[in-house]
Amino acid sequence: MGVALIGAGPLSVAALSGSILLSNLPEAAGGAKEMAENHSKKKVLLLWVATAAILAGAALIGHFLLTDVKQEYLNYIKCFAGGAVVASLALEVFPKSFKKDKYWSGIATTIGLIIALFLNNLGE
Protein backbone atom coordinates (compact mmCIF):
# COMPACT_ATOMS: atom_id res chain seq x y z
CA MET A 1 0.00 0.00 0.00
CA GLY A 2 2.87 2.35 0.75
CA VAL A 3 4.21 2.02 -2.78
CA ALA A 4 0.79 2.69 -4.27
CA LEU A 5 0.61 5.96 -2.36
CA ILE A 6 3.89 7.43 -3.62
CA GLY A 7 2.98 10.71 -5.27
CA ALA A 8 -0.68 10.33 -4.31
CA GLY A 9 -2.76 13.19 -3.00
CA PRO A 10 -4.82 13.14 0.21
CA LEU A 11 -7.99 12.17 -1.64
CA SER A 12 -6.28 9.14 -3.21
CA VAL A 13 -4.91 8.09 0.17
CA ALA A 14 -8.37 8.36 1.72
CA ALA A 15 -10.01 6.47 -1.16
CA LEU A 16 -7.49 3.63 -1.06
CA SER A 17 -7.59 3.37 2.72
CA GLY A 18 -11.38 3.40 2.76
CA SER A 19 -11.68 0.79 0.05
CA ILE A 20 -9.23 -1.50 1.84
CA LEU A 21 -11.11 -1.09 5.10
CA LEU A 22 -14.51 -1.77 3.52
CA SER A 23 -13.33 -4.72 1.47
CA ASN A 24 -11.62 -6.42 4.42
CA LEU A 25 -14.17 -5.66 7.12
CA PRO A 26 -16.54 -8.61 6.47
CA GLU A 27 -13.68 -11.11 6.35
CA ALA A 28 -12.14 -9.61 9.49
CA ALA A 29 -15.45 -9.76 11.34
CA GLY A 30 -15.92 -13.40 10.39
CA GLY A 31 -12.37 -14.24 11.43
CA ALA A 32 -12.77 -12.40 14.72
CA LYS A 33 -15.99 -14.27 15.44
CA GLU A 34 -14.27 -17.62 14.87
CA MET A 35 -11.30 -16.57 16.98
CA ALA A 36 -13.59 -15.46 19.83
CA GLU A 37 -14.88 -19.02 20.13
CA ASN A 38 -11.46 -20.17 21.43
CA HIS A 39 -9.96 -16.96 22.87
CA SER A 40 -11.08 -14.04 25.00
CA LYS A 41 -12.58 -11.04 23.21
CA LYS A 42 -9.84 -8.84 24.67
CA LYS A 43 -7.11 -11.06 23.20
CA VAL A 44 -8.83 -11.11 19.80
CA LEU A 45 -9.23 -7.32 19.80
CA LEU A 46 -5.59 -6.80 20.79
CA LEU A 47 -4.47 -9.13 17.99
CA TRP A 48 -6.52 -7.23 15.39
CA VAL A 49 -5.31 -3.86 16.66
CA ALA A 50 -1.69 -5.05 16.62
CA THR A 51 -2.10 -6.43 13.10
CA ALA A 52 -3.61 -3.15 11.88
CA ALA A 53 -0.77 -1.18 13.51
CA ILE A 54 1.91 -3.40 11.95
CA LEU A 55 0.31 -3.16 8.49
CA ALA A 56 -0.08 0.62 8.76
CA GLY A 57 3.53 0.91 9.90
CA ALA A 58 4.73 -1.26 7.02
CA ALA A 59 2.79 0.89 4.56
CA LEU A 60 4.33 4.08 5.97
CA ILE A 61 7.83 2.62 5.95
CA GLY A 62 7.37 1.40 2.37
CA HIS A 63 6.04 4.78 1.33
CA PHE A 64 8.93 6.77 2.76
CA LEU A 65 11.78 4.34 2.03
CA LEU A 66 10.78 3.70 -1.58
CA THR A 67 10.00 7.27 -2.65
CA ASP A 68 13.23 7.63 -4.67
CA VAL A 69 13.22 4.14 -6.19
CA LYS A 70 12.99 3.81 -10.00
CA GLN A 71 9.49 3.33 -11.39
CA GLU A 72 10.58 0.01 -12.92
CA TYR A 73 11.29 -1.45 -9.47
CA LEU A 74 8.08 -0.02 -8.05
CA ASN A 75 6.20 -1.80 -10.85
CA TYR A 76 7.79 -5.10 -9.80
CA ILE A 77 6.70 -4.49 -6.21
CA LYS A 78 3.17 -3.63 -7.34
CA CYS A 79 3.00 -6.79 -9.48
CA PHE A 80 4.11 -8.90 -6.52
CA ALA A 81 1.50 -7.25 -4.28
CA GLY A 82 -1.19 -7.74 -6.91
CA GLY A 83 -0.26 -11.40 -7.19
CA ALA A 84 -0.52 -11.76 -3.42
CA VAL A 85 -4.02 -10.26 -3.49
CA VAL A 86 -5.12 -12.58 -6.30
CA ALA A 87 -3.62 -15.58 -4.47
CA SER A 88 -5.52 -14.62 -1.32
CA LEU A 89 -8.75 -14.29 -3.28
CA ALA A 90 -8.13 -17.61 -5.04
CA LEU A 91 -7.64 -19.40 -1.73
CA GLU A 92 -10.31 -17.77 0.40
CA VAL A 93 -13.01 -16.03 -1.63
CA PHE A 94 -13.29 -17.77 -4.99
CA PRO A 95 -13.92 -21.32 -3.69
CA LYS A 96 -16.82 -20.16 -1.50
CA SER A 97 -18.24 -18.00 -4.25
CA PHE A 98 -17.96 -20.64 -6.96
CA LYS A 99 -19.52 -23.21 -4.64
CA LYS A 100 -22.63 -21.05 -4.30
CA ASP A 101 -22.96 -19.96 -7.95
CA LYS A 102 -20.34 -20.75 -10.58
CA TYR A 103 -21.96 -18.80 -13.40
CA TRP A 104 -22.43 -15.42 -11.68
CA SER A 105 -19.13 -15.71 -9.79
CA GLY A 106 -17.27 -16.02 -13.07
CA ILE A 107 -19.11 -13.10 -14.62
CA ALA A 108 -18.62 -10.92 -11.53
CA THR A 109 -14.90 -11.72 -11.46
CA THR A 110 -14.52 -10.84 -15.12
CA ILE A 111 -16.44 -7.59 -14.78
CA GLY A 112 -14.41 -6.69 -11.69
CA LEU A 113 -11.12 -7.20 -13.54
CA ILE A 114 -12.33 -5.15 -16.51
CA ILE A 115 -13.43 -2.31 -14.22
CA ALA A 116 -10.10 -2.42 -12.37
CA LEU A 117 -8.23 -2.19 -15.68
CA PHE A 118 -10.46 0.69 -16.80
CA LEU A 119 -9.97 2.59 -13.54
CA ASN A 120 -6.22 2.02 -13.69
CA ASN A 121 -6.04 3.44 -17.22
CA LEU A 122 -8.31 6.34 -16.32
CA GLY A 123 -5.50 8.06 -14.42
CA GLU A 124 -3.05 7.95 -17.35
pLDDT at 8 over 70: no
pTM, to two decimals: 0.58
Q: Write down the pLDDT at residue 4.
A: 67
Q: Write down the pLDDT at residue 11.
A: 72
More confident residue, 101 or 7: 101
Q: Per-residue pLDDT averaged across 79-86, rounded?
A: 84
62: left (phi over 0), alpha (psi -120 to 50) or beta: alpha
pLDDT at 83 over 80: yes
Distance CA 36, CA 11 (A): 35
Distance CA 77, CA 4 (A): 9
